[in-house]
């Protein structure tokens, strides 16, 4: 059995599971496979593929060109980039793993604090021999707007309250009573964007939610406000965001996710003013990788034994 573990950018996947116990030929791929031809060439002999989140999509076309593939394991229990219907039709079992909820909210607050207190700029100044160039903002008494109050958004909201912030919440199907029970105020979408000092996005990506933060929503925000996205890149209209940043209609943006990943070296976000950019680190922690890779190996073992676990398609 040949197993391909994809997108192991940091060369660490081998540390987080007992792959040798599977008695298989395990290959860790460290470079992203960008195009379909690259994917097909690299995985032509793979019986099992372990995919990291949505880094490498598996639409019908790719699955159909991988006739040896019998098991596809995705980290997490939802992966919009895998065509589950096509997998079923082609006889490919798809399994998932659990996903810890703490890592992404923690990074979200790292981005918020970095933006409001100008930490990256001041840290760079210190290394250059400089001293105090900026005046940071405050969180206590300010307004946090949470777009999407699911598992992650709720944790971000709780931390906002701990900082002494007033927390507003909006989503298309928000339950007002649940929002209030979490210490947040359910409001209309425009009110949230207009009132918030920080807007943070925690929404599930779907065809319906793509661009949920667009030019109109950005126009509602005040020039002193910040936008943070640690959810999925396409939720925010990148072109509109870059324009707003260059025109000074936003104080800044903290981004961990992008329309295209890895982010191209010449992408306009890399030179946009007022940004703190991280390379999709939301889930990249020791604890998360222990769950992801440990349960991925468990899924391979269970499938090989004829009793697959956490089945998404099969």
**What are the residue numbers of the active site?**
232, 261, 280
8 Å CB contact between 61 and 86: no
Closest CA to 283 of 30, 17, 53, 49: 53
What is the rounded distance in angstroms from the CA atom of residue 212 to the CA atom of residue 210? 5
What is the rounded distance in angstroms from the CA atom of residue 173 to the CA atom of residue 217? 18
Looking at the chain, the number of H-run helices and the number of E-run strands are 11, 13
Output the furthest CA–CA distance in the chain (Å, rounded). Answer: 63
8 Å CB contact between 86 and 63: yes
Crossing angle of helices 151-162 and 103-116, in 10° steps, is 40
Q: Which residue has the tokens 């929503």?
A: 217
* Distance linking the first and last C-alpha atoms of the chain: 19
């Amino acid at each position: 059995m040949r197993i391909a573990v994809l997108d192991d950018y940091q060369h660490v996947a081998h540390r987080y599971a007992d792959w040798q116990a599977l008695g298989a030929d395990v290959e860790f791929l460290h470079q992203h496979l960008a195009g379909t031809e690259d994917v097909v060439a690299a995985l032509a002999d793979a019986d099992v593929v372990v995919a990291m989140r949505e880094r490498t999509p598996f639409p019908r076309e790719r699955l159909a060109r991988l006739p040896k593939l019998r098991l596809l394991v995705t980290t997490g229990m939802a992966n919009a980039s895998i065509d589950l219907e096509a997998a079923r039709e082609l006889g490919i079992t798809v399994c998932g793993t659990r996903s810890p909820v703490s890592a992404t909210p923690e990074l979200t607050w790292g981005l918020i604090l970095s933006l409001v207190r100008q930490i990256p700029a001041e840290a760079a100044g210190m290394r250059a021999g400089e001293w105090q160039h900026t005046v940071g903002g405050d969180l206590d008494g300010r307004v946090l707007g949470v777009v999407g109050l699911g598992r992650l958004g709720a944790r971000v909201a709780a931390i906002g309250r701990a900082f002494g912030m007033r927390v507003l919440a909006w989503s298309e199907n928000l339950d007002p009573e649940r929002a209030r029970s979490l210490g947040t105020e359910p409001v209309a979408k425009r009110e949230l964007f207009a009132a918030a000092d920080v807007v943070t996005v925690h929404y599930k990506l779907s065809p319906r939610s793509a661009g949920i933060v667009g030019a109109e929503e950005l126009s509602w925000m005040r020039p002193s406000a910040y936008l943070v996205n640690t959810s999925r890149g396409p939720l925010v209209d990148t072109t509109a965001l870059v324009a707003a940043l260059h025109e000074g209609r936003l104080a800044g943006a903290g981004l961990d996710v992008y329309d295209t990943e890895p982010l191209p070296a010449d992408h306009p976000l890399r030179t946009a003013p007022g940004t703190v950019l991280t390379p999709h680190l939301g889930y990249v922690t020791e604890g998360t990788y222990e769950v992801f890779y440990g349960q991925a190996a468990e899924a391979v073992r269970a499938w090989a034994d004829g009793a697959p676990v956490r089945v998404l398609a099969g």
